[in-house]
Every structure is written in C-alpha cells, then in structure tokens.
Amino acid sequence: MSRLVVAADFGGTNLRSALVNEAGDVVERIDRSTPAEASPDAILREILQLFRDIVARAPAPPVSAALGVPGLIDADQGMVILAPNVAGFRNLVLTAPIEEQLGIPVFIENDASAAALGEFRFGAGRGTRHLLHATLGTGIGGGIVIDGRLYRGARGLAGEIGHVIIDPAGPRCNCGSRGCLESMVSGVAFAERARRVLATGSSPLLQEIVGARDPSAADLQAAAEAGDKTCEAEIRHGGHLLGLGLGSLVNVLNPEAITLSGGLLNMGDMLLGPMKESMHSIAYGPASGTIVRISSLGDEAGLLGAAAVAFERVE
C-alpha cells in the first residue's frame, strides 16, 4: 500500500489539510476557515485540532507531515517568523507541538517553495530535474528545484523571486526596496496600475466597469478584453517586465522549465505573450530553450506542495 503523509496549507482565508499518497492523490481532506483575529495560542489550538481530525481518518499511520505557510519561515526551528496575511502568525513555533501530538516528523515550508516541489513531483514540472516555479497572485512568489531537490538557501529564503528588482525608480515594495517584480506586476501592482489609469481619465471603459469601487487586476483585464487599448498596454507592459525578471532568473538557474500559477494567469496571452517574448529575448545561449508551462495542480497546489515536502523530507 502507498505511504501516506499529512499535508496542510495555511492561507489568509483557509486552513486546509489532507492525507496524500505517493501518487499525489488526496485521499482525505478537511478545510476550515482561518480565524480572522485570534491569539497565537488560539490559532495553535485550532491547528492541533485540525491535525488530530485529519489523522483520525488515516487508514494507516502517516509517515510524516508538512505545512506550507505564506511568509517567512525558519525550517530548522519549525517556526513561522512572519506571515502578514495569516492572523497571529509571528514568531510562532509550530512543528514541535504538532510532532508531540502526532508522534511523526513534522516540517514547515514557505508555501511557494512547497508549490515548486509539488509541481515538480506531481504537476506541470514532472519529468524535469531543474525547475523554477512562479506564483503570480496577490503577490509574487516562487520556488526553485535543483537536481530534484527543493533549494532552500542558507536561511530558507531562496525562491523569493518577487523581490528581483526590475526598475530602481519603480514603486516602493512591501520589502522596502523600489521596483521589485512584486511592486510592478503582482495582482496588487496591477490594481495600482488600474488606479493610475482611472486617475488620468484615459479609460472610460475601465471607469464604467469599476464604478465607484476600488479597481482590481481583474477589472483592468476585463477592460482590456473589451477592447480598451490603454488597459491592454498596461497588461502588455507588465508582461514585458515579468519576462525581464523571469528571464534574468533563467540566465542564472538554467531550468528546463518554468511553471506558473496564480490568479494573474487569467490575463492569458495578453500577459504571457509579452512575458515569453522578453524572457526569450534576454535569454543567454541555451537558456532560450526554457519551456513555460501552466500549473496543472489548480486548487490543490498548496496541499500537494506540502505533501511533496513531507515525502522529500523523509526520503
């Protein structure tokens, strides 16, 4: 029988958990809402309960567990240093109390890094040895697989591709620098582009779509798709910048493939066309052969990423 692991994915909205086998099948799953405002103690109790409940459904004892968290983690200490979008996740030691309860090894990983290993093992990155994964959502994250192993770096920070700088005069990023990919082409950054377009009054169509609301990346996309040239140019320019950032990384890492996930993929070729073009135009020699693939894990990427980490850690 295939071995099982416990996988958990802690986001700003949902706390998800699952039992996953070696083929990447989710055999049991429990989703709960993330407590909006709660003390670290209350969150920890909630998490321990979730692990108790999912393990109770296991037909055989799981070999290990791993959880993905959107933020800075210290894998050696098993703690979350900071997860801005998850209530109360700050300097929170998670693995030790879970290990004590479950009696199996428990690991923690940055969610985008986990997603990279998930794509590599179960998804669009299968068949590669060297893979770069980029998450294009509210923010921009990523993970790097080298020689079939997740590359974590000295302090577990590796793969933070959102903070590659592409314009030193660009907007201020959450990290303090200017012109990071995340501050230029993330979901939040596209919403800001939409705000600027509205402020100049150059897109009546976007204005009509947005009304009195605050605009989003999806609004910019909707206006562009309905034929608005200003909005389309914003998205194309964003794609171009994204390609410069990813192309720079390709020149450093020479992966066989880049896998992409996240809500911005809804922008389709309007974003991805210019992205691939500028990526390939700056590629150095053989780096131009890097393949771009869309994630195939969909809604389960977080859980399968954590599962991949749980299997890798005990291999």
With binding defined as CB under 5 A, does residue 113 bind Mg ion?
Answer: yes
**3-state SS track over the chain:** CCCEEEEEEECCCEEEEEEEECCCCEEEEEEEECCCCCCHHHHHHHHHHHHHHHHHCCCCCCCEEEEEECCEEECCCCEEEECCCCCCCEEEECHHHHHHHHCCCEEEEEHHHHHHHHHHHHCCCCCCCCEEEEEECCCEEEEEEECCEECCCCCCCCCCHHHCECCCCCCECCCCCECEHHHHHCHHHHHHHHHHHHHHCCCHHHHHHHCCCCCCHHHHHHHHHCCCHHHHHHHHHHHHHHHHHHHHHHHHHCCCEEEEECHHHHHCHHHHHHHHHHHHHHCCHHHHHCEEEECCCHHHHHHHHHHHHHHHHCC
175 contacts Zn ion (rule: CB under 5 A): yes
Contacts to Mg ion from residues 120-179, by CB under 5 A: 143, 159
Please tell me whether residue 180 binds Zn ion under the rule CB under 5 A: yes
Q: How far is the CB of 228 from ligand ADP (least distance, A)?
A: 14
Rounded to the nearest whole angstrom, what is the least distance from the CB of residue 290 to Zn ion in the complex?
24
16 binds, among ligand ADP, Zn ion, Mg ion, none (CB under 5 to 8 A by kind): none
Q: How far apart are CA 220 and CA 227, in angstroms?
A: 11
Closer of 78 and 187 to ligand ADP (Cβ): 187
Residue type, 120: F
Under rule CB under 6 A, residue 267 binds ligand ADP: yes
**Residue 110, beta-bridge partner list:** 69
> Interface with Zn ion includes 314 (CB under 5 A)?
no
Minimal distance, residue 100 CB to ligand ADP, in Å? 31
Closest-by-Cβ residue to ligand ADP is 187
| From candidates 97, 137, 170, 273, binder to ligand ADP by CB under 6 A | 137
Q: Which of residues 84-113 bind ligand ADP (CB under 6 A)?
A: none
Q: What is the C-alpha to C-alpha distance for residues 219 and 221, in angstroms, rounded to an integer?
A: 5
Q: Which is nearer to ligand ADP, 62 or 187 (CB)?
A: 187
Nearer to ligand ADP, 161 or 264 (CB): 264
- In the bound state with ligand ADP, the residue whose beta carbon lies nearer, of 138 and 290, is 138
Task: Tell which one of 121, 163, 240, 276 touches Zn ion (CB under 5 A).
Answer: 163
Pick the binder of ligand ADP from 217, 244, 260, 283 (CB under 6 A): 217
User: 110 or 221: whose CB is closer to Mg ion?
Assistant: 110
Does 174 contact ligand ADP by CB under 6 A?
no
Residue ranges in contact with Zn ion by CB under 5 A = 163, 173, 175, 177, 180
Residue ranges in contact with ligand ADP by CB under 6 A = 137-139, 187, 216-218, 221, 262-264, 266-267
